[in-house]
Amino acid sequence: MGDVLLRVESVSKSFGEVDALRDVDIELRRGEIVGLVGGNGAGKTTLLRLLCGVYRPSVGRVAFMVDGKEEPVDQVRERLGVVPEATGLYHRLTAWENIRYHTRIHGRSDKASWARTLRFARALDIQDELHRSTRGFSRGMRQKIALIRAVAHGPDLLLLDEPTAGLDVTSARKVRGLVRSLGDEGGTVIYSTHMLSEAQRICDRILIIHNGTVRADGSPDDLLESTGTADLEDAYMALTQDVSRMNRQEEESGLSRWWLKLSMRGKKSNLGEEE
C-alpha cells in the first residue's frame, strides 16, 4: 500500500449526553479499499460525516495529508468524492448535466470530466443514459449516476455509503468491479456496508464498528484468526456480543444534503433536488 492519506486520531463525537463515537483511531493509506461494517446506530454515518468534514470531532482530529503536510479535512473537500445513500440528484438536469455541474464546482474542465464520465459509464453499462433527464430514474440508476458524479473530478478519497443498495445482482456486481478497479489503480475507498460478504469480496481491510467504538481493524483473514472463527459472520458476532444501542436521529440519512451544501461553497440552486 501507499503513503498515509488520512489520519483519524483519538476522535470522539458526542450529541448532548450521547457518545456517537469514542476514541477512534484510524489510518488510511493510498490504494486501500476499507470496508466499514456495523449495524444501524453503530456510528458508521457519524464517522463518514467526520471524514468528509460535515461534522467536526468533539475530541481529537481528522487530518488529510497533502504533499506531506496535514490539512484539516474540511479544507480539502475537492479531494473527496462522496456517494451518500440519498443521491441528491437534480431531476431537472440530465445525468451528464448533474455530473458536469459537480465537476465544474471542483474546477475540472468539461473535456476531462466527460472522458472520465464516459469511462465509468461504460464500466457500468449506462453510457446511453447520460443524456436523459434523471426524473423517473430508478433508485439503482440514480445510485450509479451518483457514483460517477463522485469520481468524475478525480478525488483522492472516495466515501461510499451503501453503494449497492437498491441495485439488482448484475448492477451490484458492476459497481463492486468498478470500486475494485479504482483501488487497483491506487485510489482510496471507504466502503460502508451492512453486508459482510460484500466487504470480504472487495475490501483489503475491514473496520467493524459497534456502539460507537472500533471493535476490529484488519484484513478478513486477520479478523478470522483473531476471533478463532471460520467465517466473517461468526467473527462479527464474536466482536459485537453486547446489545446494540438504539438508532438515533443523527444516524439517519442526511449526508447527501449536507455534502452538496458544503461542496457548492455557498452557491444556490433551484434545480430541484430529489432523493
What secondary structure does DSSP assign to 29-58, as a single string? ETT-EEEEE--TTSSHHHHHHHHTTSS--S
Q: What is the pLDDT of residues 17-47, one digit of tens each?
A: 889 999 999 999 999 999 999 988 889 989 9
50 neighbors 57 (Cβ within 8 angstroms)? yes
Nearest Cα to 28, choosing from 1, 2, 56, 4? Answer: 4
Taking the mean position of all CA atoms in its chain, how far away is CA 54? 13
- Of the pLDDT bands very low, low, confident and very high (cuts 50, 70, 90), residue 114 is very high
Residue 267, pLDDT score: 55
Q: How many residues does the chain have?
A: 275
243 has pLDDT over 90: no
User: 125 vs 244, which has greater pLDDT?
Assistant: 125
> If you count DSSP H runs as helices and E runs as strands, how many of each does the chain have, helices first?
9, 10
CATH architecture of 4-263: 3-Layer(aba) Sandwich (3.40)
The mean per-residue pLDDT over the stretch 40-67 comes to 92
How far apart CA 110 and CA 114 sit, in angstroms, is: 6
Residue 197, pLDDT score: 87
User: 56 vs 166, which has greater pLDDT?
Assistant: 56
Least confident of 79-83, 147-151, 181-185, 259-263: 259-263
Residue 41, pLDDT score: 84
252 has pLDDT over 50: no
Residue 249, pLDDT score: 45
Percent of the chain with pLDDT over 70: 88
- The greatest distance separating any two alpha carbons of the chain, rounded to the nearest whole angstrom, comes to 55
Residue 242, pLDDT score: 82
Residues near 163 by Cβ (< 8 Å), separated by ≥ 6?
A: 83, 143, 147, 175, 179, 191, 193
Beta strands at 18-29 and 157-161: parallel, antiparallel or unpaired = unpaired
**Chain position carrying cell 453486508:** 195
Sheet holding 80-83, edge to edge: 80-83, 157-161, 188-193, 33-37, 205-210, 213-218
Residue 40, pLDDT score: 83
129 has pLDDT over 90: yes
Which grid coordinates are listed for 227? Answer: 476471533
Residue 2, pLDDT score: 77
Average pLDDT, the chain: 88
Domain boundary assignment for the chain:
4-263
- Of the pLDDT bands very low, low, confident and very high (cuts 50, 70, 90), residue 59 is very high
260 has pLDDT over 70: no
**Chain position carrying cell 484510524:** 26
